C-alpha cells in the first residue's frame, strides 16, 4: 500500500533532504508521491530500498532496520498510537497480537473501494515462543524476501517505547517455509530483553520488591483466626470491605480479597461448576458459528447457522477439511499445525465444490475466530463468526444481520465499518484531489519558470518583477557604461541575392552564438534590429568592469562570426563592431511589448563607431580606449577620422586580450 512508500519517502526527506529523495526516486523510476490506500507493486518498494542503499552508501540491513524504527514512529503519528499501545501488557502479548491487528486493518484496506478485485492485504505473520531463560523465539513469515531486517527495527522501537526495555534480536534460523503452504520466507529471531534500569535503580527495585513480599507475608501472619471468622460472617455483605489492610505506600501492593468461604487470595482464581449448566440445543443456538472436531478433523458438533449454510456439517463425523480450507494462517489442515499456531486467529473459507447449488455463484463464506484445544475430550473448539466487512458483502452471500448472534460484535462491526468505509472513500477522494492539485501546481510552477525565463530574456529581472507587481518603472541614470553595436558587412547585397529564409537562418545562427556569449561575459543584450546587434555593460546593474566585459564579448563576436556562412559566397561572414563608453538614461518604453531602452548621446556615438568601422575589426572611441588601456588589452591607434554628426574623433582598434585564451573568450572548457 501507498502508506509504506509514503513512510519511506518521509524517512529520506526528514533525514537526508528533498534533494536526496528526488535523486533516489529518479534512479528508482517511481513517482514522487503515493496515495495511502492505493495498492502499488512490491517492486516499487524494493527498488526504493535498493536505490537508497546505493545513494546513501549504507548496507541493506542497516537501511531496513532504520526504516523499521521510523515506520513505528510514523504509524504512531498517523493515528495508530492507541491501537498499538493496547495490543498487550508486555512484549510477548504485543507480538502475539500483531496478526490480530493486521486482520483488523485488512477489514478497512481490503474493503476500501479503491482496492480492486484480487488485491488484498498481504501482511507478514508472527508467532512467538517463550523460552525457560526468559528469552523468546520470534517466527516471522512473509511472502516478500529480503525485508526481515525491518522486524528488529519495529519490535525494538515498540519495546523501548511501550515497555521501557531494550532488546537484542539475532537471526538463528532462516529457511524456505515448510510449515505453511507455499514457498515463503521463514525467519526465526532470538529475542533477549533487558530492563532499562541503571545499576542503582535495579538494586532499589529489587529491594522494593523484596520489601513488598515481606510486607505481604507479615500481613498474612497478623490475620488471626478471629479475623478469618469475621471475614467469613460478613462475606455476604457486598457493600462493605472486611480487609483490615491499609494500602501500601508503594502503590503496587494488592489488597487481600475474600472469595468463597473466606479463602484469602492475592490474585484471581476462577471457579468452575461441577457440570456444565447449558444444554446442547441452547449452546448450538447461542454460538451459531462454532465447530468442534477431533484429531482426525472429524466434526463432532456445529452451530445452527453454519449448518444452515454448509448442510454437509449436519452429518456428524464428516472431515472438516472436505468443506473448508484454511486461509490464515497458511498452514496445512492438520491438528498438529493448528496446535502450533493456536494463538493465531484462524480464517476458514468454504470450498465451492462442496457448497449447495444456490451458493455456487456467490462469493465463498469466510469464518474468523480462535481455536481452543480441549485436552479431556481430545478435541478442538473453533469459536468463530462470519468474516464480513460491509453490508454489500453480506448481501452478496444472501445473508442477513439476523443470521449473526445478537451478542456477536460482528453485527456492530459491519455497520460501523460501512460508515468508516464511506469516510475512507471521502478521505481517499480528497487525497487524490490533493495529489492532482499538487501535480497541477508543479506543472504550473514549471510553466511559470518558462514564462519568467522568457520575460527575463526580454527585460532585466528587477524591471520585469516590478512590471509583474504592477509598479511603474522609473527611468534610471547610469553615469558610466559601455555600449556595443555590430552589423554584417554587405548585408544589403546579401539580402538582394538570397531567399528570405536563408537570411533568417543566417541571422539565427549568428545571434545564437552571440546570445551565448552574453551569458559568458555577463553583458546585457538590448535589442537586435535586422543585422544590428546591441549590448551594454554596466546596465541595468552597474559594475566597474563594464568596459572589459564588453571588450571580451566583442573579441568573442569576431571569432564566432567565422563560424557563420555567407549564403551568397559560402565564405564566413564579416561583421563590424563599434564600442563607446559614456553616460546613459535607461527605462521601459510602452505598455504593449515593453522594451528596456537606452537613451543619450553615448548610444549615438557607439552606433557611429560601428558604422565607421572596418570589417572584422573592433572600433573603439577614445573614452572606451581610456577604460581599457591599462587592462591588459592589445590596442592600436587608428587616428583621427571624420564622424558623421560629430566631426573629427580620435579612435582605436581593439586587437586582442593579452591574458585570455581563445577558449576563455569563447567560454569553452
pLDDT digits (tens, 9 = 90+) for 365-392: 899 999 999 999 999 999 999 988 778 8
Mean pLDDT of 190-215: 50
The pLDDT > 90 percentage for the chain reads 34
Instruction: Give residue-wise pLDDT tens across range 499-539.
Output: 999 999 999 999 999 999 999 999 999 988 888 999 999 98
Identify which of 202-211, 565-574, 588-597 has the greatest average pLDDT. 565-574
pLDDT above 90 (res 551): yes
Mean pLDDT of 629-647: 91
pLDDT at 480: 94
pLDDT above 60 (res 193): yes
Q: Is 379 helix (H, G, I), strand (E, B) or coil?
A: strand
Q: How confident is the model at residue 462 (pLDDT cuts 50, 70, 90)?
A: confident
Q: How confident is the model at residue 47 (pLDDT cuts 50, 70, 90)?
A: confident
The pLDDT > 70 percentage for the chain reads 85
| Residue with the larger pLDDT of the pair 467 and 665 | 665
Mean pLDDT of 190-208: 53
pLDDT above 90 (res 601): yes
pLDDT at 470: 79
Choose among 58, 56, 48, 67: nearest CA to 17: 56
| Residue with the larger pLDDT of the pair 262 and 159 | 159
Mean model confidence pLDDT for the chain: 81
| Residue with the larger pLDDT of the pair 241 and 415 | 415
Residues 162, 163, 167, 169, Cα dihedral to 10°: -60
Instruction: Give residue-wise pLDDT tens across range 572-589.
Output: 999 999 999 999 999 888
Residues of CATH 3.30.70.1230 domain(s) within the chain?
A: 472-666
pLDDT above 90 (res 554): yes
pLDDT above 60 (res 197): no
pLDDT above 50 (res 642): yes
Please state which architecture CATH assigns to domain 288-405: 2-Layer Sandwich (3.30)
Mean pLDDT of 246-271: 50
Q: d(Cα 339, Cα 333) in Å, to the nearest integer?
A: 11
Please state which architecture CATH assigns to domain 59-195: Alpha-Beta Complex (3.90)
CB-CB neighbours of 189 under 10 Å: 23
Instruction: Give residue-wise pLDDT tens across range 300-311.
Output: 999 999 988 888
Beta-strand ranges (E) seen in 108-217 are: 125-130, 136-142, 165-176, 185-195
Choose among 28, 34, 26, 29: nearest CA to 9: 34
Mean pLDDT of 244-252: 41
Domain boundaries 472-666, CATH class: alpha beta
Q: Is 318 helix (H, G, I), strand (E, B) or coil?
A: coil
Choose among 598, 520, 578: nearest CA to 553: 520
CA distances in angstroms from 170 to 49, 151, 264, listed in the order given: 21, 11, 45
pLDDT at 612: 93
pLDDT above 90 (res 432): no
Mean pLDDT of 453-471: 82
Residues of CATH 3.90.1520.10 domain(s) within the chain?
A: 59-195
pLDDT at 359: 77
CA distances in angstroms from 67 to 59, 139, 154, listed in the order given: 12, 20, 8
pLDDT at 469: 82
pLDDT at 196: 52
What's the pTM? 0.52
Burial of 21 (0-12, 13-18, 19+ CB in 10 A): buried
Pairing of strands 618-620, 575-589: parallel
Which of 392-406, 408-422, 642-656 shows the lowest mean pLDDT across its residues?
A: 408-422
Choose among 561, 554, 588: nearest CA to 463: 588
Beta-strand ranges (E) seen in 468-574 are: 476-488, 524-529, 532-537
pLDDT at 4: 81
Contact status, residue 324 vs residue 351, Cβ threshold 8 Å: yes
Mean pLDDT of 442-460: 86
Burial 260-287 (b: 16+ CB within 10 A, else e): eebeeeeeeeeeeeeeeeeeeeeebeeb
Instruction: Give residue-wise pLDDT tens across range 206-245.
Output: 333 344 344 444 444 444 444 444 444 444 443 343 334 4
Q: Is the N-terminal amide bond of 329 cis, ω within 30° of 0?
A: yes
pLDDT above 70 (res 262): no
Residues of CATH 3.30.450.260 domain(s) within the chain?
A: 288-405
Rg (CA), the chain: 43
Q: How confident is the model at residue 403 (pLDDT cuts 50, 70, 90)?
A: confident
H or E element at residue 550 = helix 546-561
pLDDT above 90 (res 104): no
Amino acid at each position: 500500500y501507498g502508506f509504506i512508500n509514503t513512510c519511506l519517502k518521509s524517512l529520506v526527506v526528514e533525514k537526508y533532504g528533498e534533494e536526496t529523495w528526488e535523486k533516489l526516486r529518479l534512479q528508482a523510476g517511481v513517482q514522487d508521491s503515493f496515495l495511502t490506500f492505493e495498492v502499488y507493486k512490491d517492486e516499487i518498494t524494493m527498488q526504493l530500498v535498493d536505490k537508497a542503499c546505493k545513494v546513501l552508501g549504507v548496507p541493506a540491513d542497516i537501511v531496513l532496520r532504520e526504516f523499521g524504527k521510523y515506520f513505528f514512529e510514523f504509524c504512531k503519528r498517523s493515528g495508530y498510537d492507541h491501537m498499538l499501545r493496547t495490543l498487550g501488557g508486555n512484549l510477548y502479548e504485543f507480538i502475539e497480537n500483531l496478526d490480530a491487528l493486521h486482520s483488523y486493518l485488512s477489514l478497512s484496506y481490503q474493503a476500501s473501494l479503491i482496492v480492486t478485485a484480487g488485491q488484498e492485504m498481504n501482511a507478514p505473520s508472527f508467532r512467538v515462543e517463550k523460552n525457560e531463560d526468559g528469552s523468546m523465539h520470534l517466527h516471522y513469515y512473509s511472502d516478500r524476501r529480503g525485508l526481515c531486517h525491518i522486524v528488529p527495527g519495529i519490535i525494538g522501537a515498540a519495546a523501548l517505547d511501550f515497555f521501557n526495555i531494550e532488546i537484542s534480536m539475532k537471526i538463528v534460523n532462516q529457511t524456505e517455509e515448510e510449515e505453511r503452504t507455499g514457498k515463503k520466507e521463514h525467519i526465526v529471531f532470538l529475542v533477549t530483553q533487558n530492563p532499562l534500569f541503571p545499576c542503582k535503580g535495579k538494586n532499589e527495585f529489587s529491594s522494593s520488591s523484596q520489601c513488598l513480599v515481606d510486607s505481604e507475608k507479615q500481613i498474612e501472619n497478623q490475620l488471626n483466626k478471629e479475623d478469618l471468622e469475621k471475614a467469613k460472617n460478613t462475606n455476604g455483605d457486598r457493600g462493605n470491605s472486611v480487609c483490615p489492610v491499609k494500602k501500601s505506600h508503594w502503590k503496587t501492593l494488592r489488597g487481600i480479597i475474600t472469595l468463597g468461604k473466606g479463602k484469602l487470595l492475592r490474585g484471581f482464581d476462577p471457579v468452575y461448576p461441577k457440570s456444565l449448566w447449558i444444554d446442547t440445543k441452547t449452546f448450538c443456538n447461542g454460538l451459531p458459528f462454532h465447530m468442534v472436531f477431533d484429531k482426525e478433523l472429524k466434526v463432532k458438533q456445529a452451530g445452527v447457522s453454519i449448518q444452515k449454510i454448509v448442510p454437509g456439517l449436519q452429518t456428524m463425523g464428516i472431515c472438516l477439511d472436505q468443506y473448508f480450507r484454511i486461509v490464515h494462517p497458511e498452514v496445512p489442515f492438520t491438528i498438529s499445525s493448528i496446535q502450533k499456531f493456536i494463538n493465531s486467529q484462524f480464517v476458514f473459507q468454504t470450498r465451492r465444490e462442496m457448497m449447495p447449488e444456490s451458493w455456487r455463484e456467490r462469493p465463498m463464506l469466510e469464518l474468523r475466530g480462535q481455536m481452543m484445544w480441549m485436552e479431556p475430550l481430545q478435541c478442538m473448539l473453533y469459536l468463530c463468526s462470519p468474516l464480513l466487512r460491509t453490508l454489500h458483502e453480506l448481501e452478496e452471500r444472501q445473508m442477513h444481520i439476523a443470521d449473526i448472534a445478537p451478542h456477536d460484535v460482528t453485527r456492530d462491526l459491519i455497520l460501523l465499518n460501512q460508515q468508516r468505509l464511506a469516510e475512507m472513500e471521502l478521505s481517499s477522494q480528497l487525497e487524490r484531489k490533493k495529489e492532482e492539485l499538487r501535480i497541477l501546481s508543479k506543472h504550473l510552477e514549471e510553466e511559470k519558470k518558462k514564462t519568467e525565463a522568457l520575460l527575463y530574456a526580454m527585460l532585466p529581472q528587477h524591471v520585469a518583477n516590478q512590471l509583474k507587481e504592477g509598479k511603474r518603472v522609473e527611468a534610471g541614470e547610469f553615469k558610466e557604461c559601455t555600449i556595443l553595436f555590430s552589423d554584417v558587412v554587405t548585408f544589403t547585397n546579401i539580402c538582394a541575392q538570397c531567399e528570405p529564409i536563408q537570411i533568417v537562418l543566417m541571422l539565427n545562427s549568428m545571434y545564437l552564438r552571440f546570445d551565448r556569449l552574453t551569458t559568458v561575459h555577463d553583458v546585457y543584450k538590448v535589442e537586435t534590429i535586422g543585422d544590428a546587434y546591441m549590448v551594454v555593460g554596466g546596465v541595468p546593474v552597474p559594475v566597474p568592469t563594464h568596459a572589459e566585459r564588453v571588450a571580451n564579448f566583442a573579441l568573442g563576436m569576431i571569432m564566432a562570426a567565422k563560424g557563420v556562412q555567407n549564403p551568397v559566397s559560402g565564405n564566413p561572414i564579416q561583421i563590424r563592431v563599434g564600442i563607446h563608453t559614456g553616460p546613459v538614461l535607461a527605462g521601459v518604453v510602452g505598455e504593449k511589448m515593453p522594451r528596456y531602452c537606452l537613451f543619450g548621446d553615448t548610444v549615438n556615438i557607439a552606433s557611429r563607431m560601428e558604422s565607421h568601422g572596418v570589417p572584422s575589426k573592433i572600433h573603439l572611441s577614445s573614452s572606451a580606449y581610456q577604460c581599457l588601456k591599462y587592462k591588459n588589452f592589445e590596442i592600436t591607434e587608428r587616428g583621427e577620422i571624420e564622424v558623421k554628426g560629430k566631426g573629427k574623433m580620435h579612435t582605436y582598434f581593439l586587437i586582442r586580450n593579452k591574458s585570455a585564451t581563445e577558449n576563455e573568450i569563447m567560454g569553452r572548457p
